[in-house]
Chains A and B, each alone.
Chain A
Amino acid sequence: DAMVIQNPRYQVTQFGKPVTLSCSQTLNHNVMYWYQQKSSQAPKLLFHYYDKDFNNEADTPDNFQSRRPNTSFCFLDIRSPGLGDAAMYLCATSRSRTDNSPLHFGNGTRLTVT
């Protein structure tokens, strides 16, 4: 089945130690998104790629970076994780910016910072 896959499901990192979360998709969608969802809060968009075009949200901290080496893969890099970065990180895809179809979400990576 075509899907959005996030690895790992659970990630533990140390305060200040760089960490990378990965997302892959078999849907051949042009747009890939990263959302951050802290405990009992709404998912919040960090950034998205439209093809290779990177779009950062205005309030996304510089500590968060992303890479999309090809259509299928997208990475979220947290350069120096703080305790406040502990959250569920959700990757999602959509066919295009203008296509009005629901986003397809992966199962998320739950990040713990010790």
Chain B
Amino acid sequence: EDKVVQSPLSLVVHEGDTVTLNCSYEVTNFRSLLWYKQEKKAPTFLFMLTSSGIEKKSGRLSSILDKKELFSILNITATQTGDSAVYLCAVSFQGAQKLVFGQGTRLTINP
């Protein structure tokens, strides 16, 4: 069975801290790993990672994939209260566009 596991499930930090969110996967026919941010509505796309070792960066957020060890991390530096959300990791498959999601990490940034 295809599986995507995120850790930690919940994280509370202070504004300005740096956080690292983890995602590991065990799937057949892996294509890409995606990160989404979900506030109280639909997930919004952050990154898609297809190749190992290439860091994707957008402002204070960055992410990298390790296809040998089957995991990805999402880093957020200098966190702000607006970063509070559930961060979802998902995997897509060769020949099919469906996504399998992890259970998410609920990140809370306190002022």
Contact = CB atoms under 8 A, between A and B. Distances in A.
Task: Report, as a range, how many residues of chain A touch the other chain.
Answer: 20 to 34
A100 B99 contact: no
Interface stretch (A12-20, A61-69, A77-85, A89-97): A89-97
B43 A43 contact: yes
A108 B95 contact: no
Interface in B54-98: 88, 92, 95-98
B92 A106 contact: no
Contact of B95 (A41, A44, A97): A97
A96 B32 CA distance: 15
A100 B102 contact: no
Task: Report, as a range, how many residues of chain B touch the other chain.
Answer: 20 to 34
B111 to A, nearest CB: 24
Contacts, number: 54
Nearest to B45: A102
Given A100-B32, A102-B34, A105-B42, A45 B92 contact: no
Contacts of B102: 42
B42 A90 contact: yes
A103 B96 contact: no
A98 B99 CA distance: 13
Given A42-B102, A42-B103, A107-B42, A100 B92 contact: yes
Given A102-B34, A107-B41, A96 B101 contact: no
B96 to A, nearest CB: 6
B37 to A, nearest CB: 11
Contacts of B88: 42-43
User: Max chain A CB contacts within 10 Å: which of B42, B44, B103, B106?
Assistant: B42
B31 A103 contact: no
Interface in A33-84: 33, 40-45, 48
Interface of B: 4, 31-32, 34, 41-45, 48, 50, 88, 92, 95-104, 106
Interface of A: 4, 31, 33, 40-45, 48, 90, 94, 96-103, 105-108
